[in-house]
Each structure stands twice: as structure tokens, then as C-alpha cells.
């Protein structure tokens, strides 16, 4: 699913430019968890434990 979203985002940027970049940025930053989300080469999402700890208020 994530690979499809990347493809969609690329298509929208090519056709709608800066306006679409603003929409994509808004959508991807809607949650603090989305802000620290990583994606591997096959499009799988993952989070780093140290970043999650900080987000949840723990000290590393």
C-alpha cells in the first residue's frame, strides 16, 4: 500500500506542482507518529525505538 502512495504522490507532484506538495506535506505530518515513520526499500513502514521513546516522553 505504501508504494502505491509514493507513486500517487510522485504523479500528483508532476501534474500539480507546489500545490500538491503542500497537500502531501499536510497529510504526512498529521500525526507525530507519521513524522518519525521510516520506510524501507519495499515500502514497509517502521519506527525506531529510540524515536518512539522520545515521542512518548521517555528519556534515552
Q: Which three three-digit cell numbers place residue 42?
A: 519495499
Average pLDDT, the chain: 77
Cα separation, 3 vs 44, in Å, equals 8
Contact predicate 29/35, CB 8 Å: yes
pLDDT for 8-25, tens place per residue? 777 766 777 666 556 666
All structural domains of the chain with their residue ranges: 2-55
Q: How is residue 22 written as a grid cell?
A: 503542500
Total-model pTM = 0.48
| Virtual torsion, Cα 48, 39, 26, 59, nearest 10 deg | 0
Amino acid at each position: 500500500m505504501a508504494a502505491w502512495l509514493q507513486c500517487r504522490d510522485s504523479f500528483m507532484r508532476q501534474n500539480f506542482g507546489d500545490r500538491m506538495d503542500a497537500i502531501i506535506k499536510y497529510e504526512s505530518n498529521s500525526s507525530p507518529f507519521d513524522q518519525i515513520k521510516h520506510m524501507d526499500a519495499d515500502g514497509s513502514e517502521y519506527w525506531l525505538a529510540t524515536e518512539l521513546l522520545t515521542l512518548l516522553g521517555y528519556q534515552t
